Amino acid sequence: MKLIEVQNNQMFKIDDIRFTGKEEFRDTIAELMLNGSRLISLTPVDPDNPKKIFAALTDKNFSVIYLSGCDFNGSALEYESFANDFPQTNYFECELAENYGIMPLNHPWLRPVRKQNVIMGNIPYHFFQLKGEEVHEVAVGPIHAGVIEPGHFRFQCHGELVYNLEINLGYQHRGVEKLFLQLNSDQRIILSESIAGDTALGHAFAHCHAIESLSNIQLSLRAKVIRTVAAEIERVAMHLSGLGGIANDVGFALPSASYGRLRTLAINSLALICGSRFGRGLFVYGGVRYDIDNEIKNSVMENLNTILNDVRQVNDYMFSSVGALSRFEETGIVSKDLAQSIGLVGLAARSSGLEEDVRINFPYSAYRYNPVSMITLSTGDVFARARLRALEIDETLRFIIEQLENLPEGEIKAGSGKTVPGSAVISMIEGWRGEIVHSVFTDSEGKLMNYKIKDPSFNNWYGLSLALRETGISDFPLCNKSFDLSYAGHDL
């Protein structure tokens, strides 16, 4: 075999990766993808010397991650693109080309990922354009009318109907991946919490897992449960916020206000645990900084039970309103086949009927012992994405309350350790939006050499583009909110 298999969060030696020639690399990866694996990471091992690239693919049926490498061995930095046969690799290849100048040959549509109007450093790029009579172009952003993140959207429309939407991001690029290599361990957690403001806990979770695996730190069960409880409260809060946003985008004032009120309860619960409404400062290497005592537990339980009761009524109200349903149903459809081929993850994938949930497919932390249920819907429209949030809130609240009732005893923080030299780890987490992947490599001295982050938004922005095809342009804000993707998480 040209590849090795690892588990989620399992440390491996960089030397164990088989770096093969281009031909063999191509055959290996193509075969994996033919068998239903999905690409989660494509990066050089050493960013300063991008002669060897590394690919990680997941197989959810066997809960394994396949690793394979390619050594350019002095030849030109180019390889045959996979994107013609496997559209899911499209954006990964664009990113590799933009960051390191590694050219995918015969790529169908090489476009900028975080830069504007330029590919491969100096080749000008023009937006796809529709020509003909009665065709018009609408450009939205990067500065928007509301207080939202910056992103540029190019619509090619025929009347009210969208033919193509091209999304150009990168306005929030802060160089997060590079900063990880420069900062010390205390600063790194703070940085990981700021990758995407709405997934502070998700990214901190993935980062801590990666470093703990590389340093061989074992966590107590109590610490694991507190971490998962906090991460799940974040999920509840963001799902409530998402539902509120969806209601607001169809001008449905009553549910919008009610979801907003309930979200406050959820984030206030996080504040009770760690002092920050977004959960910042809770995670440390080896565990958590704050314990949950009985008093906090009871207040949090009280909050969650209120949410559990109230959210059912609000859901019943919203999902039985004919007006709202007529907006949600059959708007922005992504079919299951399409979702699979472009590699959607998380909430959007589950709404299209794909069983993509890292908590279940690649269980980590407390989910190893206390599983959650996989919830999928099949229609792939705005309704499915909204309804799935409602269903997940129920399931997640059940999980949190169960965990809090049976909180195991133990230390909340384990001792620290040093990162092992010459090794690497793939750390996957199911954030509220979907699969977060942190791929971390250390050099021969044990320092971080490469830190690669994949936010679920990286996969799903293209899904939004496709959802908009043949959909009214006035439904764009609704579709956009139903995906609720992060600009900062994509731009890094």
Determine if the peptide bond prior to 142 is cis (ω within 30°): yes
Nearest to 206 by CA among 219, 220, 189, 222: 189
By CB under 8 A, which span of 124-132, 199-207, 316-324, 457-465 interacts with another protein? 316-324
Enumerate the β-bridge partners of residue 450. 441
For the segment 453-482, give every residue that binds another protein (CB under 8 A). Answer: 472-478
State the nearest-atom distance from the C-beta of 156 to another protein, in Å.
Answer: 11
Give the residue with the Cβ less far from another protein, 106 or 474.
474
Residue 137 interacting with another protein (CB under 8 A): yes
Provide the β-strand partners of residue 119.
123
Amino acid at 87: P
Does position 256 interact with another protein (CB under 8 A)? The reply is yes
Rounded distance, CA 370 to CA 408, Å? 12
* Residue 122 or 474 having the CB closest to another protein: 474
CB 59 within 8 A of CB 76: no
Q: Which is nearer to another protein, 247 or 453 (CB)?
A: 247
Contact partners, residue 215, CB within 8 Å, separation at least 6? 285, 416, 417, 418, 419, 420
Identify the residue among 326, 341, 373, 378 touching another protein (CB under 8 A). Answer: 326
Shortest reach from residue 139's CB to another protein, in Å: 7
Shortest gap between Cβ of 145 and another protein (angstroms)?
4
Residues 327-356 within binding reach of another protein (CB under 8 A): 327, 331
Q: Does 130 bind another protein (CB under 8 A)?
A: no
- Cβ at position 320, least distance to another protein in Å: 12
Q: By CB neighbour count within 10 A (0-12 exposed, 13-18 middle, 19+ buried), where does 486 fall?
A: buried
Task: Rule CB under 8 A: say whether 143 interacts with another protein.
Answer: no
Does residue number 261 form part of the binding site for another protein (CB under 8 A)? yes
Q: Within its chain, how far is the Cα of 407 from the centroid?
A: 28
**Residue 316 engages another protein in binding (rule: CB under 8 A):** no
The single-letter DSSP state of residue 76 is -
3-state secondary structure of 320: coil
Closest distance between another protein and the C-beta of residue 266, in Å? 17
**Exposed / middle / buried, residue 376 (Cβ in 10 Å: 0-12, 13-18, 19+):** middle
Select from 321, 335, 370, 376 the one that contacts another protein (CB under 8 A).
321
Name every residue whose Cβ is closer than 8 Å to that of residue 418 and which is 6 or more positions away in sequence: 215, 446
Is 188 a binding residue for another protein by CB under 8 A? The answer is no
Closest separation between CB of residue 400 and another protein, Å? 25
Q: Which helix (H) or strand (E) holds 411?
A: none
Run of H or E residues at 267: helix 253-274
State the minimum distance, in angstroms, from the CB of residue 267 to another protein. 18
CB of 155 to another protein, least distance (A): 8
Q: Which of residues 145-164 bind another protein (CB under 8 A)?
A: 145-146, 160
Cβ proximity to another protein: between 161 and 391 the closer is 161
Cβ 148 to another protein, closest distance in Å?
Answer: 9
Is 34 a binder of another protein (CB under 8 A)? no
Q: Whose Cβ is closer to another protein: residue 155's or residue 362's?
A: 155
The amino acid sitting at 106 is: N
CB of 133 to another protein, least distance (A): 15
Residue environment code for 425-463, b if the CB has 16+ CB neighbours within 10 A, otherwise e? bbbbbbbbbbbbbbbbbbbeeeebbbbbbbbbbbbbbbb
Taking CB under 8 A as the rule, does residue 19 contact another protein? no
Q: How far is CA 326 from CA 122, 270, 318, 322, in A?
A: 47, 35, 11, 6
Q: Which stretch binds another protein (CB under 8 A): 108-116, 253-261, 280-288, 457-465?
A: 253-261
Question: Which sign, positive or negative, has the C-alpha torsion 114, 116, 121, 123?
Answer: positive
Instruction: List contacts with another protein (CB under 8 A).
Output: 136-140, 144-146, 160, 247, 249-254, 256-258, 261, 321, 323-324, 326-327, 331, 472-478
